[in-house]
Chains A and B, each alone.
Chain A
């Protein structure tokens, strides 16, 4: 596969991200915040895609890696002087250790990856419903522990004095890094082997591909990306354990499914589209002007719109907006299969 032909696969998502960034710069600083959040969500969903999209296995645990990354980056960048107040029970070595912004992101990625590796080693052997429940259990445990353990973080209080270093540029670069890594991975032998297991596990196993190992690699990488995104997120807005729990799990999953879980483009498109709609309806609580037409909705409408939209997509277009396909030049189309298996007959 010659490099230039496949380049649109990564360039188009990257361009979409840049377009979002420029749009964010163009609007008022009040609205710019929404764009930054969107870009961070892109980073999270791309991480989710690296595992779920390539393996075809559903994981509910991705957000726990985001949480772990957020905790890491947050605890290590809150100003030293404020730590005793912000985190009363914090372990001593965490109180005394502080790192810079970029270092905290790198560490967040590292810890996220290590945690994912530790979790994935036993869990990647499972499939189907068992995998789903097991990853759900990881989410539950992480949420429980991070929410109550004061020795490793703010516990119930959540973060509040983390320096807000994630502006539009940091978020953009972060999203682009995630996209680049995801693209690089799926172009490697590992990525292709994993996709083979998604298409036809039996054939892949017969061909000598270790399903367990390939899934573990993707899972770990996804964990690292998630941790990184978590670091970005915690430097953007105050986060508590419950902000990185079921709702976010659902929303990021919705973004991936609506966009098209089989492709990187799908992940990015889904994140941008869904967060765009979500943000619109959230902002509409305070009345918005759409080309001279006033709209005001009750708080919480955004979630309902999201839920309904997700259901409609699942019923009428389960492959998502992109149909699970990457962007490719019109000459020769290479459809990439998706999360959904062949439909059952009557």
Chain B
């Protein structure tokens, strides 16, 4: 296998563009996951299921001949509702539990939602119809780059910029940042717990919906396991990047997406099925070398489970 690595395929612009796009989408997911973790101290394994739900919404929108913007609206609506339900029904009762219990609980939610989808929609995959046209390549300076890649990068940058403004320039953003650092003291100062948590859940949901749109265009087939693998990879990326701080977490998500995209393009043809192994092997190596996160300044608090 090592010798196989020597016969890497050449790096091309379309590959870089795809890698950037994937990195961008994963960065959005990382923020969604990181926000909920920061404010609720909860690792949401079921984040992928939000994306799955969004994907199904798009698929059904296409099936019912909605206009594209109507499908996207449906997607956002479904994901937001599911997000809020998840918080009310599962996260809230578990708020005082240990991190391990919460982790296993979200794992259970993920398992549950995936099987409900399997039950309701069957195991056949659905396509997202007209949205798939965004997979068509644009000609940029003589290079064929997929339209969706450009849109993804642009949207990711835009979303992150808006979010940064929200977090640094608004009172709500200030409250959220404080709550992520020290929830107890923030409450004692008057920061409304429910409002901050609700905001985190909603923003996280919006990001999930956005990711769903881009991921579903890329894959063009929605099944009950849609979004699961991506979530696992993003989670790994977030932990690798540095779970406790928003910027390292986002960078972690971006990096693992970018790395996945690049590796996907340069691995020799007979080794591409081992992409997952390469990525996760890298994850393990980084965790061993820098357990507190690749992009943190080191010396963060040791997390206990």
Chain A in direct contact with chain B (Cβ < 8 angstroms): yes
B109 within 8 A of A: yes
- Shortest beta-carbon distance, A218 to chain B, in Å? 15
B100 within 8 A of A: yes
Cα(A93)–Cα(B93), bound, Å: 55
Cα(A253)–Cα(B110), bound, Å: 14
- Shortest beta-carbon distance, B1 to chain A, in Å? 9
B302 within 8 A of A: yes
> Which chain A residue has the least Cβ–Cβ distance from B184?
A346
A131 within 8 A of B: yes
Complex contact A340–B100 (CB within 8 A): yes
Complex contact A314–B305 (CB within 8 A): no
Report chain A residues within 8 Å CB of B232.
Answer: 136, 140
Stretch of B10-18, B130-138, B283-291 lying at the A interface: B283-291
Report chain B residues within 8 Å CB of A136.
Answer: 232, 236
Complex contact B243–A129 (CB within 8 A): yes
Cα(A254)–Cα(B107), bound, Å: 10
Report chain A residues within 8 Å CB of B303.
Answer: 127-130
A311 within 8 A of B: yes
- Shortest beta-carbon distance, B248 to chain A, in Å? 14
- Shortest beta-carbon distance, A145 to chain B, in Å? 6
Report chain A residues within 8 Å CB of B90.
Answer: 311, 315
Residue of A126, A144, A247, A308 with most partner-chain B CB within 10 A: A144
A 114-172 contacts with B by CB, 8 A = 122-123, 125-134, 136-138, 140-141, 144-145, 148
- Size of B's binding interface in residues, CB under 8 A: 46
Q: With A127-B304, A300-B118 in contact, do A134 and B109 touch (Cβ < 8 Å)?
A: no
- Shortest beta-carbon distance, A66 to chain B, in Å? 18
A280 within 8 A of B: no
Cα(A311)–Cα(B113), bound, Å: 12
Complex contact A140–B43 (CB within 8 A): no
Complex contact B280–A137 (CB within 8 A): yes
Residue of A57, A130, A254, A339 with most partner-chain B CB within 10 A: A130
Q: How large is the interface on A (under 10, 10 to 19, 20 to 34, 35 or more residues)?
A: 35 or more
Residue of B107, B283, B291 with most partner-chain A CB within 10 A: B107
A 286-334 contacts with B by CB, 8 A = 298-301, 303-304, 306-308, 310-311, 314-315, 318
Complex contact A343–B96 (CB within 8 A): yes
Stretch of B68-76, B141-149, B171-179, B271-279 lying at the A interface: B271-279
Report chain B residues within 8 Å CB of A298.
Answer: 119
Partner of B112, one of A253, A304, A340, A345: A304
* Count of CB-CB pairs between chains A and B under 8 Å: 148
B115 within 8 A of A: yes
Q: With A128-B99, A307-B115, A340-B100 in contact, do A140 and B288 touch (Cβ < 8 Å)?
A: no
Report chain B residues within 8 Å CB of A123.
Answer: 284, 288
> Which chain B residue has the least Cβ–Cβ distance from A58?
B100
Report chain A residues within 8 Å CB of B291.
Answer: 125-126, 130
> Which chain A residue has the least Cβ–Cβ distance from B187?
A346
Q: With A145-B274, A311-B108 in contact, do A128 and B281 touch (Cβ < 8 Å)?
A: no
A56 within 8 A of B: yes
A33 within 8 A of B: no
Report chain A residues within 8 Å CB of B118.
Answer: 300, 303
Complex contact A145–B277 (CB within 8 A): yes
Complex contact A253–B277 (CB within 8 A): no
Cα(A308)–Cα(B115), bound, Å: 11
A344 within 8 A of B: yes
Cα(A145)–Cα(B275), bound, Å: 10
Complex contact A125–B98 (CB within 8 A): no
Q: With A57-B305, A311-B108, A314-B104 in contact, do A129 and B119 touch (Cβ < 8 Å)?
A: no
> Which chain B residue has the least Cβ–Cβ distance from A302?
B115
Residue of A128, A129, A134, A250 with most partner-chain B CB within 10 A: A129
> Which chain A residue has the least Cβ–Cβ distance from B285?
A122
Q: With A257-B104, A340-B101, A343-B96 in contact, do A133 and B287 touch (Cβ < 8 Å)?
A: yes
Complex contact A314–B304 (CB within 8 A): no
Report chain A residues within 8 Å CB of B228.
Answer: 246
Partner of A304, one of B97, B115, B240, B283: B115
- What are the nearest 5 A-B pairs in CB distance? A307-B112, A137-B280, A303-B115, A128-B305, A128-B303
Interface residues in chain B, defined as those with a beta carbon under 8 Å from any beta carbon in chain A: 43, 90, 93-94, 96-101, 103-105, 107-109, 111-112, 115-116, 118-119, 184, 187, 228, 232, 235-236, 239-240, 243, 273-274, 276-277, 280-281, 283-284, 287-288, 291, 302-305
For this complex, 21 residue pairs linking A to B, each with C-beta atoms less than 8 Å apart, are A58-B305, A123-B284, A128-B302, A128-B304, A128-B305, A133-B240, A134-B287, A134-B288, A137-B287, A138-B280, A145-B277, A201-B304, A250-B108, A253-B104, A303-B115, A311-B90, A311-B112, A315-B105, A318-B97, A318-B98, A340-B98
Supply 8 further A-B pairs (C-beta < 8 A) apart from A133-B236, A134-B287: A129-B99, A134-B284, A299-B119, A307-B108, A311-B112, A315-B90, A318-B101, A346-B187
